[in-house]
Amino acid sequence: MHKIGLIDYGMGNIHSVTKSLESLGEEIQLINNFNESKDCKAIILPGVGSFDPAMINLINSNLITDLINWINSGKSFLGICLGLQLLFESSDEGKVEGLGVLKGKIQKIPNIVNQRIPHMGWCQLLPKKINTLVELEELNNWVYFVHSYHAIPDDLNIIAAQVNYGSEKITAIIENDNLLACQFHPEKSGKTGQKLLKRWISNIQ
């Protein structure tokens, strides 16, 4: 069992993420400041809502410097949905700068005939490279998405998995050393989501 810190900044699925991890036998520590993280082995940044309000909440909570230091220290980190988008430099959704941990931008999902925005529902993950969550030849990894913006990293090599969106593919998982982030909601993705969370947990140092 690990103690996992869950950033509590008013923009996350705190209850459902907590329940998912507790069902896997993990201990959850809600973090309003990083003095509460001293016994944590990993940190999760959840997120639901819009980019600018989320960044403003992080700024007002004085969490940004410690959060960036945690990631840069090499400790385990997971971003979920908006928690992935906040890692980048900026977003088309707003004007506030992102955390800038990853180079790149969050852009509006392209308008494609017969595809709806927001992108909402179940999609199958398409792994691009060896990664922590999805094996390359593994099938039937359907997970739940709800978002209108997607990540365009400068370094395309950090995209670990994508999903089909009409004729396009959009980023589903980012992995860069200790940093892992998913655009979908593992806590809302049933047995597949639990499997993926368990794999992440098994890699916590």
For 156-190, how does the pLDDT look when each residue is reduced to its tens digit (9 = 90+)? Answer: 999 999 999 888 899 999 999 999 999 999 999 99
Signed CA dihedral, 66, 32, 17, 170: sign only: negative
How much is the average pLDDT of 82-105?
A: 97
- Beta-strand (E) ranges in the chain? 3-7, 27-31, 42-45, 76-80, 90-91, 104-108, 119-124, 126-127, 142-147, 149-153, 159-165, 168-176, 179-182
pLDDT at residue 29 in the model = 95
- Which pTM does this prediction carry? 0.95
pLDDT at residue 31 in the model = 94
Write the CA distances from 144 to 8, 31, 52, 56, 81, integer angstroms.
Answer: 22, 26, 23, 27, 10
**CATH number, domain with residue 129:** 3.40.50.880
Residue 173 · residue 123 · CB < 8 Å: no
Has 150 been annotated as catalytic? no
Taking only the tens place, the pLDDT of each residue in 146-165 is: 999 999 999 999 999 999 98
How much is the average pLDDT of 123-141?
A: 93
Taking only the tens place, the pLDDT of each residue in 30-50 is: 999 998 888 999 999 999 999
Tell me the H-state helices in the chain: 14-23, 51-60, 64-72, 82-85, 190-202
- Provide the residue range defining the domain that includes 29: 3-202
pLDDT band with cut points at 50, 70 and 90 for residue 113: low
Q: 110 versus 60: which is more confidently predicted?
A: 60
Residue entry with tokens 């969106």: 165
How much is the average pLDDT of 44-65?
A: 95
Has 89 been annotated as catalytic? no
Tokens of 126: 């398409």
Helix (H, G, I), strand (E, B) or coil at 147: strand
pLDDT at residue 1 in the model = 82
pLDDT exceeds 60 at position 202: yes
Q: Across the chain, what does the average pLDDT equal?
A: 94
Number of domains in the chain: 1
Catalytic residue of the set 40, 81, 123, 182: 81
pLDDT at residue 118 in the model = 84
CB count within 10 Å of CB 40 equals 22
pLDDT band with cut points at 50, 70 and 90 for residue 119: confident
pLDDT at residue 166 in the model = 82
Q: Which residues pair with 104 in a beta bridge?
A: 153
Nearest-10 crossing angle of helices 14-23, 190-202: 70
Has 187 been annotated as catalytic? yes
Tell me the H-state helices in 24-158: 51-60, 64-72, 82-85
Query: How far is it, in rounded angstroms, from Cα 92 to Cα 54?
Result: 14
pLDDT at residue 179 in the model = 98
pLDDT at residue 205 in the model = 76
